Homo-oligomer: A and B are copies of this chain.
Amino acid sequence: VTVYLVGAGPGDPGLITARGLELVRGCEALVYDSLVAPELVEEARGATFRIPREGLTQAELNEILISLGREGLETVRLKGGDPFVFGRGGEEVLALRRAGLPVEVVPGVSALSAVPGSIGVPITHRGVSAQVTLVSGQSAGGEELDFGQLASAPGTLVVFMGLARLPAIIAGILAAGKDPATPAAVVSAGTRPGAASAQGELNAIVELATGLASPALLVVGEVVALAGLLERPADLSSLAVG
């Protein structure tokens, strides 16, 4: 194998996997997303090439990965989060395989759970949520979200998105019948320096999130009310433990 697709995790450089870090440290070429922590890019000290992905189209990126692989360079494509959770990792694997290059995927910690977790929200909790629905608020394929289906899904809803899409998404879920009092949170730059968040009822969350920056993650569901878990356990005396 010469090309590795490695998940860098949600932002905090300590959340890359041990295997991923070893590959970054040993690679000859690194191609990295703009959201990858600078500390991880620095770990690729021995690399001849360190190429930011920013500004490249997906097709240009694929061509660069293929060229590096054909040169026989140990290449790490370092991607934010997990390559297979809205990371377009499948497209990069497919392009490399079509070019006859072997490729290995090293999974990463997804923002899905780590970012809600960073504000004390477990996406599942016994007796509170036993189901998680994950969507992207700005689908690469341009598909429209099925708000009726999302509003009726039990448990926790997590949306990866840019904040510009937040008002439309909240309006869509509310119009489809989701209880306006459902607890919700928006987390900006979760696990990164400058992380910030807003919490409140669904029908107030757009206003509460004013001033937060993209990228952001929206989490909707009763688990958000557990956000005090780390700080205010006395408020949660009704929850089952053990």
| Residue positions of A touching B, CB distance < 8 A | 7, 9-10, 12-19, 21-22, 57-62, 82-91, 93-95, 97-98, 102-110, 112-114, 116-117, 121-127, 130-136, 139-141, 143, 146, 149, 152-155, 223, 226, 229-231, 233-234, 236, 239-242
Q: A14-B18, A17-B17, A124-B136 are in contact. List 17 more A-B contacts (CB 8 A).
A: A7-B109, A14-B22, A15-B18, A17-B18, A18-B18, A84-B117, A84-B123, A85-B112, A90-B122, A90-B125, A94-B233, A95-B241, A95-B242, A97-B231, A130-B139, A132-B135, A146-B154
- Closest B-chain residue to A240, C-beta based? B22
- Chain B residues whose C-beta falls within 8 Å of the C-beta of A84 in the assembled complex: 113, 116-117, 121-124
Chain B residues positioned under 8 Å from A114 (CB to CB): 82, 107
A-B contacts, 17 of them at CB < 8 A, read A15-B19, A83-B117, A85-B112, A85-B123, A87-B124, A90-B223, A90-B229, A91-B125, A91-B242, A95-B242, A107-B113, A110-B112, A110-B113, A126-B139, A126-B141, A130-B143, A132-B133
Q: Which residue of B lies closest to A97 (CB)?
A: B233
The answer to whether A19 touches B62 (Cβ under 8 A) is: no
| Contact assessment for B230 and A97 in the assembled complex, using a CB-CB cutoff below 8 Å | yes
CA distance A177 to B9 in the complex (A): 37
Among A19, A102, A140, chain B packs the most CB atoms within 10 A around the CB of: A19
- The closest CB in chain B to the CB of A90 belongs to B122
Q: How far is the CB of A185 from chain B (nearest CB, A)?
A: 14
Which residue in B91, B231, B240, B242 is a CB contact (below 8 Å) of A102?
A: B231
Taking CB atoms, residues of chain B closer than 8 Å to A123 are: 84-85
**Smallest CB–CB gap between A61 and chain B, Å?**
7
Residue of A97, A109, A152 ringed by the most chain B CB atoms within 10 A: A109
Decide yes or no: A229 and B109 within 8 Å by CB, A117-B84, A241-B18 being known contacts: no
6 closest residue pairs by CB, A with B: A14-B19, A59-B242, A90-B122, A97-B233, A58-B242, A84-B122
